[in-house]
Structure 1
Amino acid sequence: MVQVEINDESTDAKLGERIVTIARRNAAHIGFYCDGSGICTMCECKVLSGADQLNEPTEVEHTWLTDARLAQGYRLGCQAALRGTGPVQVLTRAEEMRRQCDAVLNPPAGTNAADHLAGLLENIAAINWQHIGRWPFNLLSSINRIGLYSVLWPVTNLNQLIDDTVRVTQRLLNTEPKDQPPSA
């Protein structure tokens, strides 16, 4: 088993598993709209340590993530798979932005909202630039790779998407035990 820490919570994982699969199984705060086809980029995460334990960035990641984001350690959770047995630590984009928003709305002692606003705005701008700055080639590449229908409706299992969304929301609201497995 491989030790993976997602959003400051450790869990066991198997070689070959993708970060998004591990996160969904553990109801971690991560986006997962496109079911791993690599077109929504909601599962973007920052690899804080253990990048050498993951596969190299895929063509999909090079299509959607800027070179600057890749250099900063950002990966798509649906593309980043465990290849080594060493520990891996990631912070999902959803959780990173939740924390940044929280710091703006509820500044830590000794700071004010303005101290944290720039980081949040920089992150929002970088995420948007990934899509706008690469338009329309990122979309055309995805259509070529998975087909127009899959780009227009990427959800392959709507019930699972709803179930996962409810589990993540319950966990964020602390209404579900951390070790409760996803429903089948």
Structure 2
Amino acid sequence: MSVPIVFLDTETTGLHADRRPWEIGIIRRDEHGQTETTIQVADVDLSGAELIGLKIGRFHDRHLHYGEADADAHEKDDGHLLLEERDAAREVEHLTRGAHIVGAVPSFDTECLAAMLRRHRLVPAWHYHLIDIEALAAGYLRGRHEMALPLPWNSDDLSRAVGVSTTEDERHTAMGDARWAMRVYDAVAGSAQ
């Protein structure tokens, strides 16, 4: 593999332009293998949060600092980090540097992460061409079945159509959605990239 691939998802404080990431799921696949990292931002700024965004990711149930989750038990798990935002930014920059980003509407995630990096005087260093699994699956299905898929696309329907299932517990967790994106990508493009 010549270029690293990062399967990425974030859970954020809302759907608005000024949203902040509070959970980041990163699966990096490169010449050394594959690693998974989940980061929760310990000092996430909630002053501009939207309740709908927090509900989608189950923030109050799952955040290790603000929620009901057991931080001590969670920190012992390999690949799970509870970091101040400045340290989270450094980790994200390091893990995504030079990589192709793959996700479900990855621009939503990369815009939010780019703002976080810049707040800490870092620059996004991932490849500018993002890979959206929904567009990838729709193109694959169109080519395979020679039929157009009507808009709007439904990500769950597209996923099932390429043979990938997901559970409600998995969805809308950063790592769960990153793993789902990876499975869809691998089903369409193959894992030997």
* TM-score range for the pair, normalised by the shorter chain length: under 0.3
More strand by share: 2
Q: TM-score, normalised by structure 2?
A: 0.24
Q: TM-score, normalised by structure 1?
A: 0.25
